[in-house]
Structure 1
Amino acid sequence: MSNIKLIIEERPSNIGNFMVGRLLPFREKRMVGPFCFIDHMGPAKLSDHENLDVGPHPHIGLSTLTYLFEGSVMHKDSLGTAIEIKPNQVNWMTAGNGIVHSERTPEYLRHSDKNLHGLQIWVALPKELEEMSPNFAHITEEEIPTWENNGVSFKLIAGEAFGKKSAVPVYSPLYFLEIKTTKATTINIGDDLFGESALYILEGSISSEVHRYEPKHILIANDSKLCSFEMAENTTVYIFGGEPFPEERYIYWNFVASTKELIEDAKTRWIEQSFPKVPGETTFVPLPQAHPLKNK
């Protein structure tokens, strides 16, 4: 019996002036553990007059994880944070009861050619913490556990696995793991995983139970404890998941919550512009009036 429960293909989505590949949520699978949203940005080559410009927009009920492979993004938020994120670093922003942030190409790169490639991920907060005070953490490359085993490179970007713990301050049991190969290798890691689990293929390919899977796909496991597959040479995959929440989550635009009432309150606050402001920003992204309310 196959351990692949569901295969999700990247779908194009517009986030303003930038196209991304959307992976989660998916109509048949809204969440994997606490992970409720994944966008694959790029790889994109931006000319000297093209820039990432995502203006101030709000979040509630989640933490955002930004992880870049190439390029640079300037993050500014309503806590007063202003920090540039570069490849192999993590920006971890916890919205709680409400935060506003912008994401733009840094000023010194705006008039030159550049590349941008990375992942943007939302992790829902547990019900008892979804109205906590917002906070922000920037984790350097040196703070992320990395190791090699039989020629395979591992990096624990967030959470806990393999007896290791990332410096990213997560709020529920989860893992977000990078695995890279230079030669074909069989991977058996099920005993180190828990809860729900999924695998995203960034480059190369993997084989499982005589089937071959190519990049830009997420594979959802039936049982994380049976996680075994063969990676081709020069392959990079990301394995993510964790303990699912007992309650469903609703997603409206940038809001995630366990009740529709919390989302309606956030919509009203954004329309009235009563969320805190991002210092130095004068514009904002308006609330989409026809955005669907989705449940788990």
Structure 2
Amino acid sequence: VHSCAENFLIRPAFGRTSPVPTFSDTLYLDVQLAPGASIDLGGLPEESAVYAPMGAIEVDGEALPANTMAMVEPGLPVRVSSSAGARFVLIGGAPLDGRRYIFWNFVSSSRERIEQAARDWEANAFVPVPGDEERIPLPAWPAAWRHEGRPD
């Protein structure tokens, strides 16, 4: 590790441990790289990704612009560097036990639960966030859902 600060939000790494308890193999590492710095990351969970919210980075020599996420090859060490300095997060964990469905802000292992959540959203059944009066309408259903006889 050269010229960087790490914040271990979840999971032990580099001889340090996060105080956050987890119930599965989970990783969330927040790293601030100084200009010209790099960090070598190994021993990552089977499914891992790098996300750069502030500043461009290079992942194994490939440019990753700010606000972009890239999957990390399972089982291989990875080097993250930045010529100008940047902040990135490394997230990951063990594979889930089955398929997950995503529609807008809803994620579930059940399509039916997502459809119910969408109906609840349209019916204003969610508890509002205090102090936030903005209401975002439910977006149109993706074509893949409609092809299977799902909501329009």
Normalized against structure 2, the TM-score is what? Answer: 0.70
1:190 aligns with 2:42: yes
Cα gap change, 1:282 to 1:213, in 2 (>3 Å): closer
Mark the CA change 1:219 to 1:268 in structure 2 (over 3 Å): closer, same or farther: closer
Instruction: Find the aligned partners of 1:179 and 1:219 in 2 and give their Cα distance.
Output: 15
SS at match of 1:184: strand
CA contact (8 A) 1:252 1:294 kept: no
Any idea what the Cα deviations from partners look like across 1:126-182, whole Å, max 9, x if unmatched?
xxxxxxxxxxxxxxxxxxxxxxx54321112x3213141154x65543222222222
- Asked if the contact 2:60/2:78 (under 8 Å) is kept, the reply is no
| Equivalent residue for 2:110, pick from 259, 280, 283 | 259
- CA–CA distance in 2 between the matches of 1:186 and 1:269? 46
Q: Match of 1:194, SS?
A: coil
The CA distance in 2 between the partners of 1:166 and 1:293, in whole Å, is: 43
Instruction: Tell me the alpha carbon deviations over residues 203-224 of structure 1, each in whole angstroms, 9 at most, x when there is no partner.
Output: 1432625x44443432221225
> Any residues of structure 2 matched to 1:61-210 within 5 Å, and which?
149-156=1-8, 158-162=9-13, 163-167=16-20, 172-191=24-43, 193-201=44-52, 202-206=54-58, 208-209=60-61
Structure with the higher strand share, 1 or 2: 1
Partner residue of 2:150?
A: none
Separation in 2, partners of 1:226, 1:260: 36
SS, match of residue 262 in structure 1: helix
Matched residue, 2:126: 275
Q: Contact 1:197–1:240 at 8 Å: present in 2 too?
A: yes
Note the residue ranges of structure 1 that are not aligned, 5 or more in a row.
1-148
Report the counterpart of residue 249 of structure 1 in structure 2: 100
Unaligned runs of 5+ in 2: 146-152
Residues 245 and 262 of structure 1, relative CA distance in 2, 3 Å threshold: same
> Quick one: distance in 1 between partners of 2:91 and 2:124?
35
SS at match of 2:120: helix
Q: Is the 8 A contact 1:251 1:294 kept in 2?
A: no
Counterpart-to-counterpart distance in 1, 2:71 and 2:132: 40
Measured at CA, do residues 212 and 286 of structure 1 come closer, stay the same or move farther in structure 2, by a change above 3 Å?
Answer: closer
Please report how far the alpha carbon of residue 258 of structure 1 lies from its aligned counterpart in structure 2 after TM superposition: 0.6
* Contact 1:196–1:224 (Cα < 8 Å) also in 2: no
Provide the C-alpha distance between the structure 2 equivalents of 1:229 and 1:188, rounded to a whole number of angstroms: 6
Q: CA deviation at 1:251?
A: 1.4
Q: Is the 8 A contact 1:250 1:294 kept in 2?
A: no
Q: Which residue of 1 aligns with 2:85?
A: 234
Question: RMSD over aligned Cα, in angstroms?
Answer: 3.1
Give the conservation status (yes or no) of the 8 Å contact 1:251–1:293: no
Identical amino acids, percent of aligned pairs = 25
- 1: distance between equivalents of 2:25 and 2:59? 28
Shift of 1:283: 6.2
Distance in 1, Cα, partners of 2:77 & 2:126: 45
TM-score (norm 1): 0.40
CA drift at 1:287: 2.9
Question: What does the per-residue CA deviation read over 1:77-126, in whole Å, with 9 as the maximum and x for residues that have no partner?
Answer: xxxxxxxxxxxxxxxxxxxxxxxxxxxxxxxxxxxxxxxxxxxxxxxxxx
Structure 1 residue 196: Cα displacement: 1.0
